[in-house]
């Protein structure tokens, strides 16, 4: 089989290079045998990452393995070669089949029994720390709710501290759902590893996130999809929600400027819409390069995944134009390569 060559500008280094596929790896060394050019002149970006998605899950928390594979392929066609699942059904069977994106983490949707309300998909537990540590030991991650009703009291700080201590003790990381100012503050103060959503997050949470090396995954596009409906209905709760949404938009830039790692997570259907999230991050005033990095190289570094070095895994995406000047092109990759296999190509 002929070796494939790719030539173009590599991001984020902004360097014109040529690389070849060597099995499931990339090499910058010209092979001695035959090769043919698969692509020339585009922009090469390390495989995209959606750090907050729930493929295969139904609203009641059920799981369908066939839907899971279909949703994962929707992501892959959009250039997303790695997925992280902050919360999946307890019955989820994650397929690590080679034709699907790489998978990171899982864990159940763990909700403390002391919260004032719960959703159907929540796994309600009394001992949040023990259950969280069990999930983290199994998958590397756990997902805990720091609040649910955004107008009610969050999980107390002391309980979240116990969660963080127990999960870190087994070498795991904590993804914390927060959608109230008090919940986001407690998550940041407890030292969780990522805050998901962070609606209404107070500015005082930002230095705590920096101190604990906590990433911010605002999932803005999932919230943006509700704005018109909330504005039209305009009940008191909608007004609180809209104010919290405005605050989280401001916090994205604050967090980035303070040195917090801001990452792209979609948390919604249809799957494969990470470009929407990048666009929302740019609208929230994140510099375009940082917003694209949030869905690619920054997320990859955060998860310990390789980029474009000699011998790195061949997961990358090619765009016909520079996504930094035209982010809309992220919706139209010309090529998607996963594990050295061409998933998508022109024609
Ligand atoms: Zn979610």
Distance 86 CA to ligand 1 centre (A): 6
Q: Work out the widest C-alpha separation in the chain, in whole angstroms.
A: 69
The answer, yes or no, to whether the previous bond of 12 is cis (omega within 30 of 0) is yes
For 282-310, letters b (16+ CB in 10 Å) and e give bebebebbbbbbbbbbbbbebbebbbbee
Assigned token pair, 78: 């959009």
The answer, yes or no, to whether the previous bond of 270 is cis (omega within 30 of 0) is yes
Which residues, in sequence order, are bridge partners of residue 142? Answer: 174
Distance 30 CA to ligand 1 centre (A): 44
Alpha-carbon span 333 to 320, nearest angstrom: 7
Assigned token pair, 56: 């295969």
Q: Which of 324, 321, 295 is nearest to 334 (CA)?
A: 321
Query: Is 48-295 the same fold as 3-46+306-344?
Result: no
Distance 3 CA to ligand 1 centre (A): 40
Q: Where are the beta strands (DSSP E) in the chain?
A: 3-10, 15-22, 25-27, 35-46, 48-50, 80-84, 102-104, 109-112, 123-125, 141-145, 173-178, 194-197, 215-217, 316-319, 335-338, 341-344
Say whether domain 48-295 belongs to CATH 3.40.50.261. no
Assigned token pair, 221: 């596009």
Alpha-carbon span 262 to 283, nearest angstrom: 14
Domain ranges, ordered by start, for the chain = 3-46+306-344, 48-295
Distance 196 CA to ligand 1 centre (A): 8
Distance 34 CA to ligand 1 centre (A): 46
Distance 72 CA to ligand 1 centre (A): 15
Q: In what order do the strands lie in the sheet with 173-178?
A: 123-125, 109-112, 141-145, 173-178, 194-197, 215-217
Rg of the Cα trace of the chain?
Answer: 20
Q: Alpha carbon of 65 to those of 96, 141, 210, 343: distances in Å?
A: 12, 21, 38, 21
Instruction: Find tokens 């997050």 and name the residue.
Output: 201
pLDDT tens across the length of the chain (347 residues): 689 999 999 999 999 999 999 999 999 999 999 999 999 999 999 999 999 999 999 877 789 999 999 999 999 999 999 999 999 887 787 888 899 999 998 799 999 999 999 999 999 999 999 999 999 999 999 999 999 999 999 999 999 999 999 999 999 999 999 999 999 999 999 999 999 999 999 999 999 999 999 999 999 999 999 999 999 999 999 999 999 999 999 999 999 999 999 999 999 999 999 999 999 999 999 999 999 999 999 999 999 999 899 999 999 999 999 999 999 999 999 999 999 999 999 87
What class does CATH assign to 3-46+306-344? mainly beta
Distance 314 CA to ligand 1 centre (A): 28
Strands 102-104 and 341-344 come out as unpaired
Distance 222 CA to ligand 1 centre (A): 9
Distance 238 CA to ligand 1 centre (A): 20
């Amino acid at each position: 089989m002929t070796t494939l060559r790719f030539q173009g500008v590599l991001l984020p280094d902004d360097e014109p290079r040529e690389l070849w596929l060597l099995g499931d790896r990339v090499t910058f060394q010209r092979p001695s045998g035959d090769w043919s050019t698969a692509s020339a002149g585009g922009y090469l970006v390390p495989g995209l990452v959606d750090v907050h998605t729930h493929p295969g899950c139904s609203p009641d928390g059920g799981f369908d393995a066939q839907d899971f594979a279909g949703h994962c392929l929707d992501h892959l066609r959009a250039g997303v070669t790695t997925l992280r699942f902050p919360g999946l059904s307890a019955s989820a069977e994650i397929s690590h089949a080679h034709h699907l994106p790489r998978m990171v983490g899982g864990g159940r949707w763990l909700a403390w029994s002391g919260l004032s309300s719960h959703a159907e998909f929540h796994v309600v537990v009394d001992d949040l720390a023990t259950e969280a540590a069990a999930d983290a030991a199994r998958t590397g991650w756990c997902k805990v709710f720091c609040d649910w009703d955004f107008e009610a009291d969050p999980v107390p700080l002391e309980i979240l501290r116990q969660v963080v201590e127990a999960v870190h003790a087994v070498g795991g990381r904590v993804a914390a759902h927060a959608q109230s100012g008090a919940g986001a503050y407690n998550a940041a103060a407890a030292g969780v590893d990522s805050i998901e959503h962070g609606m209404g997050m107070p500015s005082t949470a930002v230095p705590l996130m920096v101190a604990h090396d906590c990433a911010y995954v605002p999932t803005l596009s999932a919230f943006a999809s509700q704005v018109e409906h909330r504005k039209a209905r305009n009940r008191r709760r909608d007004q609180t929600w809209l104010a919290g949404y405005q605050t989280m938009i401001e916090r994205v830039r604050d967090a980035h400027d303070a040195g917090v790692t801001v990452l792209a997570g979609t948390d919604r259907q249809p799957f494969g819409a990470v470009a929407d999230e990048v666009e929302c991050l740019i609208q929230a005033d994140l510099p375009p390069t940082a917003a694209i990095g949030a869905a690619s190289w920054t997320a990859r570094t955060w998860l310990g995944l390789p980029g474009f070095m000699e011998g790195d895994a061949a997961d990358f995406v090619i765009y016909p134009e520079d996504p930094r000047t035209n982010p809309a092109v992220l919706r139209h990759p010309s090529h998607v390569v996963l594990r050295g296999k061409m998933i998508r190509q022109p024609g």
